[in-house]
Amino acid sequence: MENTQQETRKPCLTLALETSCDETSAAVVADGRIVLSNIISSQIPVHQKYGGVVPEIASRKHIENVLPVIDQALKEAGIALTDISAIGVTYGPGLVGALLVGVSVAKALSFAAGIPLVGVNHLEGHIFANFLAHPKLEPPFMALVVSGGHTSLVHVKGYNEFTLLGQTRDDAAGEAFDKVARVMKLPYPGGPYIDALAAKGNPEAIAFPRALSGKNSFEFSFSGLKSAVLNYLNSAAQKQEEINTADVAASFQAAVIDVLVSKSLQAAAVCGVGQIVLAGGVAANSGLKAKVGYECQQAGISFYYPDPILCTDNAAMIACRAYYQHQIGDYADLHLNAKPSLKLGAREIVT
Amino acid sequence: MPILAIDTATLVSSVALATVDNVLAEITLQTKKTHSELLMPHIAKLLDMAQVAKADLKGVAVSIGPGSFTGLRIGLSTAKTLAYALQIPVVGVPTLAAMAYGCPVPGVILAPMLDAQKGNVYQALFEWHQGELKEIQPAIVTEVTAALESLSQQERPVVVMGESAVMYRDKIEQIGKNLILAAPHVVIQRASSVAGLGYKLIKQGVRHDVMGLEPLYIRRSEAEVLWECRHGVGK
Ligand SMILES: [Zn+2]
């Protein structure tokens, strides 16, 4: 676009909704990169007493919160619905009942306001959070997506071109954190508590297993590690031995991080990319950030991660992803349905 | 100046456009397809077929339950958002009352029943009295056999309606007596009835907050009930 035009040009605004799990979120993003508003109504306190997300309760909270969150997102951005160029919505993966609230709302909004609808893959959204955090970042890069539900290595070749190199065969990294935290009687969600405890412990105190650490294998497995930690805690309890919880947390976290870091660097080398980005809820883990940062520096690779608020589930990352889909006309129509086990890069476009 | 009415409380997907004294159009479908796939395309098609512009809609009436939790949420998400974006009022219409509203027969008890799983139903009782629909018993969750046995003790004829009436057809016929299974066109929900009762509620001054309107679940989630049992809350 010409410079003179750019000055008078109105920004391209995307509004997005995210209701795939336990956060109800709406956001407005300008030109795919500038967050004008990012309203997140978290349900963590509601689910805390159950020790995990209860799908039916999550869905009930979403329908309660969704319109107020959208209204606030528009108000905070200072724009009217009619100024929006595209509406993005997470349609998978996630909890089906929770996804359906967002998808139904987005379709009705798109129809009523006559604005094109974009179905967004939640995992792609997590990766795109990095474009919001780092305005200069551009593909290609290697993305490590780690959250309560996912552990995936994705080669991001372009804004709309992804290759999934590998993912977890069983538990997600975040899931392992939550389960270990629960056994250690730490509050839900356990990730941040383990991270804090680990900082005070010795990561080499206990030798927990590192699964599938073969060369150029990009699949993960964390269920064996989780069992090993549980066995260690149980047998210590049986023998009435004193447990150093900080050492357990540090050794467990080190085992997770070692695998994540070595596979990410190997993947970057194999694909010949010089940038690694972290994404997903576990990207907020300070131990992980420190280790990836250090290893990347050693290998001469640039390393990016989003601010904590963009690591958790939020609609700004969905609005960012929607912007790039809007650029290539990748729209959904009113038949769009929730896809609870949607795979990365497998957008279904009904036209 | 029509309103749009929606009912997705059960497997029936029904949308209608109606004015205060006329039904312009209705699409009522019972298929295996999900509400999520059907509802918005049906609304768009309905407006198109009836040649009504969305800007001409004067309100949205939505069946708020009881019924399938997910079905209700799809209907309500859609209705609330349309009302919000088109800046028109929304009115939540109790599902069982809307069914009875569609069967204006005096001298009988109307007993709509919707599936509440594990042999239970959501049930309410109504009668028509001097041209007005009256609620005899508000919506409850009850065991279906006991409910039908109790209805068979009534002196008046009882018209049993809803998906559970169809599901337990054999039981109704077996008990016989005063129990009547409603005819197929009355036994299921119709959005035109939701529109009719919706207009009635609006006339009575009922207004619902588009932000806060929620489904009428009747039941709490299983997790909440289990948690309270385990922690000795309540009884
Ligand atoms: Zn997520």
Condensed to tens digits (0 to 9), the pLDDT of residues A16-44 reads 999 999 999 999 999 999 999 999 999 98
Strand order of the sheet with strand B12-19?
B22-30, B12-19, B3-7, B60-65, B90-94
Chain A and chain B share a number of CB contacts under 8 A equal to 96
* H/E stretch holding B121: strand B120-129
What pLDDT score does B1 carry?
85
Condensed to tens digits (0 to 9), the pLDDT of residues B40-76 reads 999 999 999 999 999 999 999 999 999 999 999 999 9
Condensed to tens digits (0 to 9), the pLDDT of residues B213-235 reads 999 999 988 888 888 888 876 54
Q: A258: annotated binding-site residue?
A: no
Q: Does residue A111 sit at the B interface (CB-CB below 8 Å)?
A: yes
* Burial class of residue A51 (count of CB atoms within 10 Å of its CB; 0-12, 13-18, 19+): middle
Condensed to tens digits (0 to 9), the pLDDT of residues B158-205 reads 999 999 999 999 999 999 889 999 999 999 999 999 999 999 999 998
Lowest mean pLDDT among A1-15, A240-254, B90-104: A1-15
Q: A121: annotated binding-site residue?
A: no
What pLDDT score does A216 carry?
77
Which residues in chain B are closer than 8 Å to A337, comparing Cβ atoms? 34, 36-37
Q: Do B34 and A60 touch (CB under 8 A)?
A: no
Condensed to tens digits (0 to 9), the pLDDT of residues B81-107 reads 999 999 999 999 999 999 999 999 999
What pLDDT score does A211 carry?
85
By C-alpha distance, the chain B residue nearest A96 is B70
In this predicted structure, the answer to whether residue A7 has a pLDDT above a threshold of 70 is: no
Q: Does residue A97 sit at the B interface (CB-CB below 8 Å)?
A: yes
Q: Do A54 and B221 touch (CB under 8 A)?
A: yes
Report how far residue B85's alpha carbon sits from residue B88's, in angstroms, rounded to the nearest whole number.
Answer: 8
Residue A3 pLDDT level (bands cut at 50, 70, 90): low
Query: Shortest CA distance to A18 belongs to which of A51, A62, A52?
Result: A62
**How far is the centre of ligand 1, averaged over its atoms, from the C-alpha of B93 (Å)?**
35
Q: Measure A229 CA to nearest chain B CA, in Å.
A: 28
For chain B, what is the mean pLDDT? 95
Q: A148: annotated binding-site residue?
A: yes
| The domain made up of A139-305 is a member of CATH 3.30.360.10 | no
Residue A346 pLDDT level (bands cut at 50, 70, 90): low
For chain A, what is the mean pLDDT? 93
Q: Does residue A63 sit at the B interface (CB-CB below 8 Å)?
A: yes
Which residues in chain A are closer than 8 Å to B221, comparing Cβ atoms? 54, 56-57, 60
Closest partner residue to A109 among B36, B81, B211, by Cβ? B81
* Burial class of residue A91 (count of CB atoms within 10 Å of its CB; 0-12, 13-18, 19+): buried
The ipTM, to two decimals, is 0.96
Residue A214 pLDDT level (bands cut at 50, 70, 90): confident
Residue A215 pLDDT level (bands cut at 50, 70, 90): confident
Q: Does residue B145 sit at the A interface (CB-CB below 8 Å)?
A: no
Q: A171: annotated binding-site residue?
A: no
- Give chain A's radius of gyration (CA, Å): 21
Q: Do A104 and B82 touch (CB under 8 A)?
A: no
What pLDDT score does A350 carry?
42
Closest partner residue to B77 among A104, A113, A335, by Cβ? A104
Torsion of CA B171, B173, B175, B178, to 10 degrees: 130
- When scoring B81, B82, B211 by the number of chain A Cβ atoms within 10 A, the one with the most, hence best to mutate, is B81
Residue A343 pLDDT level (bands cut at 50, 70, 90): confident
Condensed to tens digits (0 to 9), the pLDDT of residues A138-172 reads 999 999 999 988 899 999 999 999 999 999 999 99
Positions of CATH 3.30.420.40 in chain A:
13-129+311-327, 139-305
Phi, psi of A329 (to 5 degrees): 70, 30
Quote the DSSP letter at residue B183: P
Q: Do A71 and B224 touch (CB under 8 A)?
A: no
In this predicted structure, the answer to whether residue A5 has a pLDDT above a threshold of 70 is: no
Q: Measure B11 CA to nearest chain A CA, in Å.
A: 16
In this predicted structure, the answer to whether residue B210 has a pLDDT above a threshold of 70 is: yes
Condensed to tens digits (0 to 9), the pLDDT of residues B6-50 reads 999 999 999 999 999 999 999 999 988 899 999 999 999 999 999
Q: Do A54 and B69 touch (CB under 8 A)?
A: no
In this predicted structure, the answer to whether residue A250 has a pLDDT above a threshold of 60 is: yes
Domains and their CATH numbers in chain B: 3-95+189-218 (3.30.420.40), 103-181 (3.30.420.40)
The residues facing A119 across adjacent strands are A89
Q: Does residue A68 sit at the B interface (CB-CB below 8 Å)?
A: yes
Q: Do A60 and B214 touch (CB under 8 A)?
A: yes
In this predicted structure, the answer to whether residue A56 has a pLDDT above a threshold of 80 is: yes
Which residues in chain B are closer than 8 Å to A50, comparing Cβ atoms? 223, 227
Q: A122: annotated binding-site residue?
A: yes
Q: A149: annotated binding-site residue?
A: yes
**How far is the centre of ligand 1, averaged over its atoms, from the C-alpha of A123 (Å)?**
7
Q: Do A100 and B214 touch (CB under 8 A)?
A: no
Condensed to tens digits (0 to 9), the pLDDT of residues A183-199 reads 999 988 889 999 999 99
Q: Does residue A67 sit at the B interface (CB-CB below 8 Å)?
A: yes
In this predicted structure, the answer to whether residue A347 has a pLDDT above a threshold of 60 is: no
Residue A283 has, within 13 A of its CA and on its CB side, a CA count of 30
Residue A351 pLDDT level (bands cut at 50, 70, 90): very low
- Give chain B's radius of gyration (CA, Å): 18
Condensed to tens digits (0 to 9), the pLDDT of residues A78-89 reads 999 999 999 999
The proportion of chain A whose per-residue pLDDT surpasses 90, expressed as a percent, equals: 84
What pLDDT score does B139 carry?
97
* Burial class of residue A182 (count of CB atoms within 10 Å of its CB; 0-12, 13-18, 19+): middle
A18, A102 contact by CB (below 8 A): yes
Q: Span A222-231, mean pLDDT? A: 94
CA-angle at A311, arms to A140 and A80, nearest 5°: 95
Q: Span A70-84, mean pLDDT? A: 97
CATH architecture assignment, domain A13-129+311-327: 2-Layer Sandwich (3.30)
Report how far residue B16's alpha carbon sits from residue B12's, in angstroms, rounded to the nearest whole number.
Answer: 13
What pLDDT score does B235 carry?
44
Q: A126: annotated binding-site residue?
A: yes
In this predicted structure, the answer to whether residue A6 has a pLDDT above a threshold of 80 is: no
Q: Do A105 and B81 touch (CB under 8 A)?
A: yes
Report how far residue A45's alpha carbon sits from residue A339's, in angstroms, rounded to the nearest whole number.
Answer: 27
In this predicted structure, the answer to whether residue A4 has a pLDDT above a threshold of 80 is: no
Q: Measure B82 CA to nearest chain A CA, in Å.
A: 6
